[in-house]
Amino acid sequence: MHNGKGFGKSGSSNVGKYVPERLEDFKIDANGEKYYLVKWCGLPQSKNSWEHRDNLSCYFMMYKIEKIKTMEKMIKNEPMIPELRTRPRRPGIVPFEERSTGFDRGRTPERVIGVSEVSGQLEFLIKWKGVMEADLIPREIANIRCPQIVIKYYEENLTWDFSDMKN
C-alpha cells in the first residue's frame, strides 16, 4: 500500500503516501522478517494490508503492537513466542523457545542467582522455589514474568562509584 494515492493535505509530507491509523497485528516469517497488519487512515478495514517493517516508519506503533500481542499470549499461557528471539545463536546453544524452563513446568521463580550474555542477549539465571534447579531466562521474559525478582537482583548487585562526584 506504500505506493498508492495520498490522503494527506496539500503541502503535507504525507501527499502520495498512505498513513497508518493503527497496527492491528504483527508476524514473523520463516526468514525472521517482521510484518505488520496496517489499518490505513481514511480507508475501510477491507483495505488493511500486511507490510514489511522496512516500509513503515511508525516505530512506536510497531513497538506497542509487539508488546500487546506478547502480553496477550503470556496471559493465555501460550508457549513463549519465537518473535522474541530472531538473532542467530552460536552453534550448540539451544534457542530459548526450544528449551523447557521452570515457567513451562509451572514453577515459581525464587531469585536471580546470576546474569550472562548469550549470543548478544542478556539472560538471567533464575533459581526455582522448592527445587535445586535454575534456568537461563532471556531478559525480555524475566522482566515480564518476574519483574520484582529482577529488580531485587539489580538492587543487590549494582554499585555506584560516587568518588568522581564533586560538591
Whole-prediction pTM value?
0.42
The angle at the Cα of 109, spanning 107 to 115, to the nearest 5 degrees, equals 130
Do 20-75 and 95-157 have matching folds? yes
For residue 26, pLDDT beyond 50 = yes
Pick the CATH number of 95-157 from 1.10.10.10, 2.40.50.40, 1.10.287.610, 3.90.190.20: 2.40.50.40
Q: List, for residues 37-55, the tens digit of each pLDDT value.
A: 999 988 999 999 999 988 8
- pLDDT tens digits for range 133-146: 888 888 988 999 99
Mean pLDDT value of segment 124-130? 92
At residue 79 the predicted structure's pLDDT band, cuts being 50, 70 and 90, is: low
**What is the residue extent of each domain of the chain?**
20-75, 95-157
pLDDT digits (tens, 9 = 90+) for 88-124: 555 555 555 556 678 877 889 999 998 988 777 888 9
Q: How confident is the model at residue 1 (pLDDT cuts 50, 70, 90)?
A: low
- Domain 20-75 coded CATH 1.10.1270.20: no
> What per-residue confidence (pLDDT) applies to 109?
94
Walk across the sheet containing 20-28 and list its strands. Answer: 20-28, 34-40, 49-52
DSSP, collapsed to helix, strand or coil, labels residue 79 as coil
Q: Which residue has the cell 502480553?
A: 71
